[in-house]
């Protein structure tokens, strides 16, 4: 646990309350004791990942995860030993990336038993939407109601604050006005949309709750965990508010926790940014892989292109997939948008 405590001290500069530190370490120890399912020790070229929404395939009156599981076993299991389920939690916008409840499965998709049944057939990657959550969440309702203990869960800023240096992935306003229970209007940090409220990791209680989300996913069997929009986690006005040192330290902390409670878990950072920024997450040994839209587009292009173009994909997994899954000339493609 020494690595955990050292990182906590670096992130919070000695201000992390002792009682919360004790609780955090106890939660980690409890998760370590209950997780029995071993992970694969190392990822390799055989770990070809199918990326899909949990509601991709539907049947009347059946949970979509049940339908997906059957389709996967019949048609995809021999090709993809690992399935990345994009957010399958209750959500309010952005195709699932505005999570209402981190600990529940969207009823349309099923429940945790459906996830467990799919996990019996394949290894799984979960999305950990760690930067923000839905404005419809209970957490944000507690904040707006000014309930005790929730005041600093999200980031309020005077509207005149100079935030011109902040990197903007979207064209929506960075600050969104919300009315509090006492009638005050506060301007809340919303990197991606007015419905996606950024969490305030400077508040130790936020870290405690988000670590419990990570631990829950590891207990549920996540072999890979993808950290969505991870580069934006820590905010310091006057800076770019992306890839800050404390963000890197938070990722190191998540990595260290996973290593303790579920060795072999692969942590993936979703950073759709220039290459040099991407590799900074590898260079500091925080995670084992990075997730980049452009990389996946290249791999998919190997499958969805003409035979001549597929010939340039080389001899790796993408070439194997394209050989097995050569699409017929009548194939049509569905466009989707992923947050980040």
Task: Tell me the per-residue pLDDT of 2-46, one tens digit each, with 9 for 90 and over.
Answer: 999 999 999 999 999 999 999 999 999 999 999 999 999 888 899
Angle between helices 2-12 and 18-34 (to 10 degrees): 140
Measuring CA to CA, how many Å separate 127 from each of 15, 172, 180, 324? 30, 24, 30, 27
Tell how many helices (H) and how many strands (E) occur in the chain.
11, 10
State the chain's mean pLDDT as an integer: 87
When pLDDT is averaged across residues 155-179 and rounded to a whole number, the result is 97
Question: Is it the case that residue 312 has pLDDT exceeding 60?
Answer: no
* Residues above pLDDT 90, as percent of the chain: 77
Question: Is it the case that residue 337 has pLDDT exceeding 70?
Answer: no
Question: Is it the case that residue 332 has pLDDT exceeding 80?
Answer: no
Catalytic site residue from 127, 152, 228, 277: 228
In degrees and rounded to multiples of 5, residue 222 shows phi and psi of -60, 120
Question: Is it the case that residue 296 has pLDDT exceeding 60?
Answer: no
Rounded to two decimals, what is the model's pTM? 0.84
Q: Within a 10 A sphere around the Cβ of 61, how many other Cβ atoms?
A: 4
| Residue 61 annotated in active site | no
pLDDT band at 270 (very low <50, low <70, confident <90, very high): confident
Nearest alpha-carbon partner for 174 in 271, 184, 164: 164
pLDDT band at 229 (very low <50, low <70, confident <90, very high): very high
What pLDDT does 338 receive? 37
What pLDDT does 280 receive? 62
d(CA 94, CA 106): 15
When pLDDT is averaged across residues 177-191 and rounded to a whole number, the result is 98
What are the residue ranges of helices labelled H in the chain?
A: 2-12, 18-34, 64-71, 112-119, 138-144, 204-219, 245-261, 275-283, 293-304, 307-310, 317-324
């Amino acid at each position: 646990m020494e690595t955990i405590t050292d990182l906590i001290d670096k992130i919070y500069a000695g201000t992390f309350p002792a009682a919360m530190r004790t609780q955090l370490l106890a939660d980690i120890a409890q998760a370590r004791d209950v997780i029995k399912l071993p992970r694969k020790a190392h990822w390799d070229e055989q770990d070809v990942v199918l990326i899909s929404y949990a509601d991709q395939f539907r049947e009347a009156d059946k949970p979509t995860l049940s339908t997906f599981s059957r389709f996967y076993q019949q048609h995809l299991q021999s090709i993809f030993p690992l399935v990345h389920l994009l957010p399958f939690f209750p959500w309010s916008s952005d195709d699932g990336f505005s999570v209402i409840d981190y600990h529940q499965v969207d009823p349309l998709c099923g429940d945790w038993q459906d996830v467990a049944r799919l996990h019996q057939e394949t290894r799984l990657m979960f999305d950990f939407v760690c930067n923000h959550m839905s404005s419809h969440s209970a957490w944000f309702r507690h904040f707006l109601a000014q309930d005790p203990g929730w005041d600093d869960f999200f980031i309020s800023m005077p509207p005149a604050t100079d935030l011109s240096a902040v990197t903007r992935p979207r064209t929506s306003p960075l600050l969104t006005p919300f009315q509090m229970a006492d009638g005050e209007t506060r301007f809340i940090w919303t990197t991606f949309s007015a419905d996606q409220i950024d969490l305030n990791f400077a508040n130790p209680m936020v870290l405690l709750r988000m670590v419990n989300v990570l631990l829950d996913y590891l207990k549920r069997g996540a072999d890979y965990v993808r950290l969505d929009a991870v580069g934006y986690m820590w905010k310091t006005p006057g800076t770019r508010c992306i890839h800050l040192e404390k963000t890197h330290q938070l990722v190191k902390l998540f990595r260290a926790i996973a290593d303790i409670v579920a060795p072999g878990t692969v942590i993936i950072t979703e950073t759709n940014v220039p290459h040099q920024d991407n590799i900074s997450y590898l260079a500091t040994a925080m995670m084992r892989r990075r997730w980049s839209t452009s990389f996946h587009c290249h791999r998919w292009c190997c499958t969805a292109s003409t035979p001549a173009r597929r010939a340039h994909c080389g001899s790796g997994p993408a070439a194997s997939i394209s050989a097995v899954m050569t699409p017929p000339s009548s194939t049509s493609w569905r466009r989707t948008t992923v947050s980040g």
